[in-house]
Structure 1
Amino acid sequence: MTYFDCIVVGSGHAGSCAALSSLQAGCQRVLIVDKCPPAWVGGNGYFTAGAHRTVHGGLQDLAPIVNNLTSEMVDRIDMEPYSRHQFFEDIMRLGNGKADPVLVSAVVDNSRDAIQWLAQSVKVPFVFSFHRQAYEVDGRQKFWGGMVLSVKSGGKGLIAAHQDALRKAGVELWFDAPCMELLREGNAIAGIVVRRNEVDITLKTSAVILAAGGFEANSELRTRHLGPEWEGAKVRGTPFNTGDGFQLARAVGGKITGDWAGCHNTAWDADAPSDAGTRDVTNQYTKSGYPLGVMVNSDGVRFADEGEDFRNYTYAKFGRAILSQPGGIAFQIWDAKVIGSLRKEEYGDGIVDKTMANSIEDLARELSAKGLKNPDALIRTLSGFNAAVERHQRDFPNQQWDPTVKDGLSTQSSSCLLDIPKSNWALPINQSPFMAVKVCCGITFTFGGLAIDPETAGVISEETGRSIPGLFCTGEMVGGLFYNNYPGGSGLTAGAVFGRKAGASAAKLRLQQ
């Protein structure tokens, strides 16, 4: 019977981190199994922009690990340090205080080491995220929202680096190989049953690391846990994250925890495919330019505060807001003042179907052919919005528009209070040409998962409250970390942190034998 020191279920970012870490910590023979075919390697990590959130000390701290910084650029960059307190509080604040603080601390306190490890051991090509997390203001690149790191070529570059590192390290990868069962001897994991070519194969191991993703691609589970409207959400990433890993863990007594009614969801191109992402377009279907404009539903009225917070603190929840609107759609709208500031990879020519017009009336008429049911309401909405912004500007004439800070430019004033404010970055939409795009809800990953030991990443037993010997978990399958919302870039970082912990724990088991 074939024996491996460690078997990882899932070939994504978190699983890849776990596999390489286990080898570095002392395992000699490591296997990754995945039910997807080779063409779908990488799980949801492939579909990301590669953003990683980490504690850091500012520009000089991170400059050595990025490859898109020149000496001429250094003097034109404003990058504030991002402290442990800020990172911890961001996760807790966006999760309404519900997240497990010990679990959050594990992510935060190990984030910088994880980034360094990814750069050195995996050779992840980190870059400063000028295109996503910085705006040019007065000739300077000003970073905002705490997160500054991305990966060259986004998720594609991230997974390519993982695959290269795994190949060089000698990790075996089996595709088209779903894990069917976890095997035990006594209360400890002893192996798995994996199906290859319609044959069930038993593999012996002392350590299994579950990194099989959430249940976001399973419409039946979405409906059961998130609600019936979620059947209509579009899947942003891999179609193979269908919740299988949770069934495996529950069958051996694994404890579930966390926000099973919550998920990462975002404004998504309404013309994107429904049941899976597209591996050439990947994250370009994201439509995150709403802080620079407004969003209206098909009735022509606003439904969310587009300036509530920085984009990377709101984009993971606004998909839900869109899904709850009539028809599950919305329109994002801007004018000439800000169109040039929209990210080209999301709003460039040939990327998205853009509706352009020289007047609000013409824009409303054009959008009526794309699902806008009440053009007159849209005209009234924008007229009222513009009037509210102008009244605020009269009350606060010294405030300046600045997308790199919460500038306080809003719709609220002594003479006008909109029922739904725009709290920051509010400019009147009054300069032609006007532009609109149609968006829907894209679901990225689900928040409910398995309870784990924050130090070892061991899966907790429902019966004993202690770790199940030999069973570990990382990535989207970890529960208790995110509730309702999350700060952008935290998911990939958490996957690396707990992946490394799981790999080290697996190696410790081998060395104890």
Structure 2
Amino acid sequence: MAPPSRCDVLVAGSGNAGFATAVAAKEAGAKHVLLIDKCPEEWAGGNSYFTAGAYRTVHGGTADLLQLVNNVDAETAKRIDLEPYTVDNFSNDMKRICSGRSEPRLAKILIEDSNATVKWLKSNGIRFQLSFNRQAYEVDGRLKFWGGLSLKTQDGGKGLIEDHKTAARKHGVEVLYSTPLKRLITDPKTGAVTAVAVQSNGEDAVIRTGAVILAAGGFESNPRLRSQYLGPGWDLAKVRGTPHNTGDCLETAIRDVSAAQTGNWSGCHSVAWDANAPSDTGDREASNEFTKSGYPLGLMFNTLGERFVDEGIDLRNYTYAKFGRAILAQPSHVAFQIWDSRTVSWLRSEEYRPERVERITADSIEELADKLTPLGLENRDAFVRNVEEYNEAVYAFQQENPDKKWDPAVRDGMSTQSRTKRLALGKTNWALPVDKAPFLAVAVTCGITFTFGGLKVNPETAQVVSSMTGKEIPGLYAVGEMMGGLFYENYPGGSGLTSGAVFGRRAGAAAAKAVAPS
């Protein structure tokens, strides 16, 4: 299909942020909204397709969320322990996890708009569920949610994108794939963005428009830019999601309109990822199942046989986005996650079942070390010795603290650090001995999800700011991964999709207002 010669609002990017923006613009009165993406249609969804579909939102507890979800019957509801997640809770998590660096107005809007935005998504057909498989453990017959994160979409990112596509069709959004944005065209007198140059069906075309909203992702799939901005070795990280997020639109906005840059350009979301996963692109069938986030239940060792992170420093959804960086920094960029029979049953099947990951099993730690050696373990003896030392520290703590109870749904304080035995690198929570056969190990590496650096925007409207004037560029907005200033070093799990929808909704409404007839 040939692109139209003009539209009211043009959105670049077919992920969560892009679709949310396009629908919001239509709802706000824009007559012709066009969404384009350089990827072919079979790659629709950007990185959103590869997520677990988790949304972090302020809420009032179980009753507030039950109205949103489709997977809780009356009997299950009686067994749920789900505390309210308040504005203060979310704000404190953002400050703590992002080192106090988040742009305050962006963070405030993200947090305060989160509940209304999730309910808006629900009204547009996004199917939400309580995330029993990822964010709850059954402890003493109770379903205990943890980490401030409870909502996910049905069928994860795959279901999210299908629902977004359905909503876009319902609202009359025109969508063109295989249509990369090549250039932003401005009015020479006002500096306003008035058109874009695209390529479609191998031919160049110009689309005149009243507003452009950039939602085309970061540069996580570009090894050159990863090395340039994130640092040496990042070209070797595995790409968790789409291969099409190569930073083209970021560079276009900086080149064509001097868009201001902000945020943590050396930072990114990166996870423990299956070492055998494809290198340069995610697998659309496996999707998020290559994530290996069961490390709080066990231990992680590098190829030298040494632990290198405190696996229990915090709840998983506050650490998983930064531990990929820690793995990348290890020799050969590889680590081994290990468990004994006490905790293997607590691992999520979608991540650790034999059909999805190579499982290395053994009846002793020595045998496990022998089996890991051909896979890259260089110092077998150090591995065995460090497991033994860890176990000694756990037993010493248990002896001093007989009333402590292991509970994976809270920061339980089950530690390796006691008066009689302290490890140089302790495990702060969920420390159980690893000495009960059979044992399980999997090999992991770093999988990069999205980058944190982006364009500076007016937080109220997501309108892009000029580096030349310090003022908003008329007709240009940026949302999703392209918006900088929100996340630094790490992020609270589930806040990325929420951000895309919150600011996409605002940008769509602002753009529609800007192009409305006066």
Shorter-chain TM-score bucket reads over 0.9
Report how far residue 169 of structure 1 moved: 1.5
Report how far residue 198 of structure 1 moved: 2.1
Superposition pairs of residues 108-507 of structure 1, within 5 angstroms: 108-121=111-124, 123-185=125-187, 186-250=190-254, 251-507=256-512
Partner AA of 1:421 in structure 2:
G
SS in 2 for 1:206: strand
How many angstroms apart in 1 are the aligned matches of 2:445 and 2:282?
A: 14
How many angstroms apart in 2 are the aligned matches of 1:75 and 1:11?
A: 39
SS in 1 for 2:185: strand
SS in 2 for 1:319: helix
Which of 61, 65, 88 is the equivalent residue of 1:62?
Answer: 65
How many angstroms apart in 2 are the aligned matches of 1:349 and 1:416?
A: 37
Q: Deviation per CA, 1:347-399: give whole Å up to 9, x if none.
A: 01211000000111110001111111111111001000000010011111110
Partner AA of 1:220 in structure 2:
R
Report how far residue 100 of structure 1 moved: 0.6
Partner AA of 2:219 in structure 1:
F
Structure 1 alignment gaps of length 5 or more: none
1:509 matched to which residue of 2?
Answer: 514
SS in 1 for 2:71: coil
Greater mean deviation of Cα atoms: 87-96 or 313-322: 87-96
1:32 matched to which residue of 2?
Answer: 35
Tell me the matched-pair count: 512
SS in 1 for 2:321: coil
2:20 matched to which residue of 1?
Answer: 17
The alignment status of 1:79 with 2:82, answered yes or no, reads yes
Partner AA of 1:245 in structure 2:
C
How many angstroms apart in 1 are the aligned matches of 2:371 and 2:182?
A: 52
Partner AA of 1:355 in structure 2:
I
Partner AA of 2:404 in structure 1:
Q
How many angstroms apart in 1 are the aligned matches of 2:9 and 2:91?
A: 32
How many angstroms apart in 2 are the aligned matches of 1:393 and 1:512?
A: 71
How many angstroms apart in 2 are the aligned matches of 1:387 and 1:184?
A: 67
Greater mean deviation of Cα atoms: 231-240 or 462-471: 462-471
Greater mean deviation of Cα atoms: 218-227 or 196-205: 196-205
SS in 2 for 1:141: strand
Partner AA of 1:455 in structure 2:
E
How many angstroms apart in 1 are the aligned matches of 2:458 and 2:308?
A: 40
1:42 matched to which residue of 2?
Answer: 45
Report how far residue 512 of structure 1 moved: 4.5
How many angstroms apart in 2 are the aligned matches of 1:2 and 1:176?
A: 17
SS in 2 for 1:228: coil
Partner AA of 1:189 in structure 2:
V
How many angstroms apart in 2 are the aligned matches of 1:241 and 1:43?
A: 7
How many angstroms apart in 2 are the aligned matches of 1:511 and 1:38?
A: 30
Which of 6, 9, 14 is the equivalent residue of 1:6?
Answer: 9
Report how far residue 248 of structure 1 moved: 1.8
Report how far residue 415 of structure 1 moved: 1.2
Greater mean deviation of Cα atoms: 484-493 or 465-474: 465-474
How many angstroms apart in 2 are the aligned matches of 1:88 and 1:211?
A: 25
Report how far residue 168 of structure 1 moved: 1.7
How many angstroms apart in 1 are the aligned matches of 2:109 and 2:170?
A: 29
Partner AA of 1:286 in structure 2:
T
SS in 1 for 2:279: coil
SS in 2 for 1:337: coil
How many angstroms apart in 2 are the aligned matches of 1:308 and 1:316?
A: 13
SS in 1 for 2:458: coil
How many angstroms apart in 1 are the aligned matches of 2:397 and 2:244?
A: 49
How many angstroms apart in 1 are the aligned matches of 2:453 and 2:94?
A: 15
Structure 2 alignment gaps of length 5 or more: none
**Misfit runs of 4+, over 2 Å:** none
Q: Deviation per CA, 1:389-426: give whole Å up to 9, x if none.
A: 10011111110000011000011000111111100000
How many angstroms apart in 2 are the aligned matches of 1:352 and 1:58?
A: 35
How many angstroms apart in 2 are the aligned matches of 1:247 and 1:363?
A: 48
Q: Deviation per CA, 1:227-283: give whole Å up to 9, x if none.
A: 111011000000000001111211202100000000000000000000000000000
How many angstroms apart in 2 are the aligned matches of 1:35 and 1:510?
A: 25
How many angstroms apart in 1 are the aligned matches of 2:409 and 2:191?
A: 53
RMSD over aligned CA atoms reads 0.8
Partner AA of 2:327 in structure 1:
I
SS in 2 for 1:106: helix
1:53 matched to which residue of 2?
Answer: 56
TM (normalized to structure 2)?
A: 0.98
Partner AA of 2:44 in structure 1:
V
TM (normalized to structure 1)?
A: 0.99
Partner AA of 1:219 in structure 2:
P
